[in-house]
A and B are shown apart, each in its own frame.
Chain A
Amino acid sequence: MNKTFRGGVHPDGHKELSKDQPIEKFLPKGDLVFPLNQHIGKPAKPVVKKGDQVLAGQLIAEADGFVSANIVSSCSGTVKAVEERHTISGGRAMCIVIANDGQFTRAPGIGAERDDTKVTGKEILDAIKWAGIVGLGGAGFPTHVKLAPRNPEQIDYVIANGSECEPYITCDDQLMRTESAGIVEGLRLVLRLFPNAKGVIAIEDNKPEAISAMTAACSGDANISVLPVMAKYPEGGERSLIGVVTGRQLRFGQLPADLGCVVCNVSSLNAIYRAVCKSEPLMDRLFTVSGDAVEKPHNLSVPIGTCCAELLEAAGGVKSGCQVKKVLCGGPMMGIAMSTLDVPTAKNNNALTFLAEDEVEFAEEQMTACIRCGRCGQVCPIGLVPQMMAEAAERNDLERYEKKLYGLDCIACGSCTYTCPAKRPLMQLFKHTKAKIMAAKRK
């Protein structure tokens, strides 16, 4: 039995849909749109204007402030506009729109090999910042900030997160199977920044091919090991994973670095390898297009900024005889429902899921009052009591929610909502309540 955390749920993975399909390189035909806020922190500042010619890999918006990230163009063409557009999360943001010339001509210097044995720590961080790498697992935290904590010598674990636990998504799994050398190389580069750390690659045990590929890639390196963890949702959550690997518990407001840990998604590590050793900025990423309403679910290597509608086409469109009831950016547990496909993909998006059956709608019809069974508390990976949190949130008792029930520690994984027999929309309530408290704190 592999190690795991307390709580969690076992949703149907549906990973077989896309897991073994070959990866396809997809080149979009239409315009590419780059929102300036594809990361946590301050939006980037555009450095191009309407009418400018850009090449693939060229910087189009630079980091503005400490917690911010560069954005590079992933195609060649002309800047069509810098304007407000809808983003994948349903809001609006300033975006750079580039009319794609279809050539994907690379800017000079992109792809130049660099001898990684000679690079210094500062060069590694500079290359990551230059490449605009952010946490590709979903959070989008700028990686050059994450890898420069105040206490580098106190970091004793660098965890490569390969525990892709969200149903339907298989892009990290396939990346680990095909780019294992790049991931291990990226991990070695990160380990160079932390002299006292050892590398642990945590992979869920439902990905045996990825485990064997990664074990082979890191064999002979005493400082790096592969740790198979139990396949359970949300194993890939930063907190759960730190708990499983090190036994340390992260609290709200704490960063992993405070507990001597740095957690990086495997795709971020591969991007670090490509940025440092191949001089390739973050231009494309693996993207899962899956769901029971898609003709050909599989993984695509997609230039960032591609329109979601083109991705559906690339996956063969909607399955004949099927009707798409729900589209999710991400998977069904933590994904965001989308109302239009006319939005661009961003760095931190990793999947589109098309469902023929909307299970949530079904649940709303069956919703009853809370029956106080306590199952939500049993599955909460943080150890919170969602039932009491919901009660406080509904009464708008924000102080109790925050101080007595530690509601801000909620990671919005949705395990409580998934398991609730009364079908109550707990996660949405917690997300909203958390946002309300944070907004009040900012005032």
Chain B
Amino acid sequence: MSHIIIATAAVAVIGLLIGVLLVTVDKKFKVEVDEKEAAVRACLPGNNCGGCGYAGCDALASAIIHQEAPVNGCPVGGDPVAEKISTILGLEMEHTEKVAAFVKCSGDCENAAARCHYVGIHDCASAISSGLSPWTCDFGCIGFGTCAAACPFGAITVDQGVARVDRDKCKACGQCVAACPRHLIELVPDSATYAVRCSSHDRGAAVKKVCSAGCLACKLCEKQCEAGAITVENNVAHIDYDKCTKCGKCAEKCPAKVIKKRNPA
């Protein structure tokens, strides 16, 4: 019986000593942490996706504290996070418009002409460097999902040979924009109702040969647009979303149906 008491007492004494030691060491060698920085860091999502341009959430938190980055610097968190951070720091809230990735190509199995039966590594950049791709169009989506692999949120899927973005899941971190070797992905405001789904710089006749859903650069949209939001440059239409009034006349007139109404998110 006494063995048990001795053992218990010994453990209790050792525990007490260690406890006292830990408390003193903690007080004496305390590392000063900016409370605000810790609080800001706690608001950030913690994906470390790098979409803000900083090396992860810790780096962004420190940048926000030192006012090197705006309170809405985190594209993933959006307005709710920005609001929390601005309350902590007592700064004025800056609103961000929600944006999402958008693939500027609609050349899927139905529309695009097949080039060859591709054999090899299924990676878009690899396919380009080998000079082969499943589709004839030199500008369109290859469909091997390099963007989908880069997306940390699982928002991109390849369907019928074209990458498609789930706007609910997309946090606009921009990883896919950097990953796409053909530069087809753009961050488009959620409020944009009409968008151009083609990136081909070829002339109309050449586009028609390779894809039934390609911009022919006929400029009908440019002529229709009363707000002057559409310009055709390099044989492909561009919409300035700031100027767009969402009248929908461009989509109505587009002969190839490249300008389409987007589904509401």
Give me the interface of A with B, judged by CB distance under 8 Å.
Answer: 89-92, 336-340, 358, 360-361, 364, 425, 428-429, 431-432, 435-436
Contact = CB atoms under 8 A, between A and B. Distances in A.
A196 B127 CA distance: 46
Nearest to B116: A339
Contacts of B125: 432, 436
A429 B138 CA distance: 22
Interface stretch (B19-27, B54-62, B73-81, B128-136): B128-136
Nearest to B201: A84
A429 B131 contact: no
Contact of B119 (A92, A336, A358): A358
Contacts of B129: 431-432, 435
A432 B126 contact: yes
A337 B130 contact: yes
A392 B126 CA distance: 16
B132 A339 contact: yes
A339 B115 contact: yes
Interface of B: 115-117, 119-121, 123, 125-126, 129-132, 138
Nearest to B202: A84
A429 B119 contact: no
Contacts of B119: 358, 360-361, 364
A92 B131 contact: no
Given A339-B116, A428-B126, A90 B121 contact: no
28 contacts: A89-B131, A90-B130, A91-B131, A92-B138, A336-B130, A336-B131, A337-B116, A337-B130, A337-B131, A338-B131, A339-B132, A340-B115, A358-B119, A360-B119, A360-B120, A361-B119, A364-B120, A425-B120, A425-B121, A428-B120, A428-B121, A428-B126, A428-B130, A429-B126, A431-B130, A432-B121, A435-B129, A436-B125
A394 to B, nearest CB: 10
Contacts of A91: 131
A436 B129 CA distance: 10
Closest 6 CB pairs of A and B: A90-B131, A339-B116, A432-B126, A89-B131, A339-B115, A361-B119
Contacts of B120: 360, 364, 425, 428
A89 B128 CA distance: 10
A337 B138 contact: no
Contacts of A425: 120-121
Nearest to A434: B129
Given A92-B138, A336-B131, A337-B131, 11 more contacts: A90-B131, A91-B131, A337-B132, A338-B131, A339-B115, A340-B115, A425-B120, A428-B120, A432-B121, A432-B126, A432-B129
A274 B153 CA distance: 63
A435 to B, nearest CB: 5
A252 to B, nearest CB: 19
Contacts of B121: 425, 428-429, 432
Contacts of B117: 361
B123 A90 contact: no
A432 B120 CA distance: 12
Contacts of A432: 121, 123, 125-126, 129-130
Nearest to A361: B119
A429 B126 CA distance: 7
B121 to A, nearest CB: 5
Nearest to B134: A339
B175 to A, nearest CB: 13
B113 to A, nearest CB: 11
Contacts of B126: 428-429, 432
Contacts of A435: 129
B136 to A, nearest CB: 8
A365 to B, nearest CB: 10
Contacts of A360: 119-120
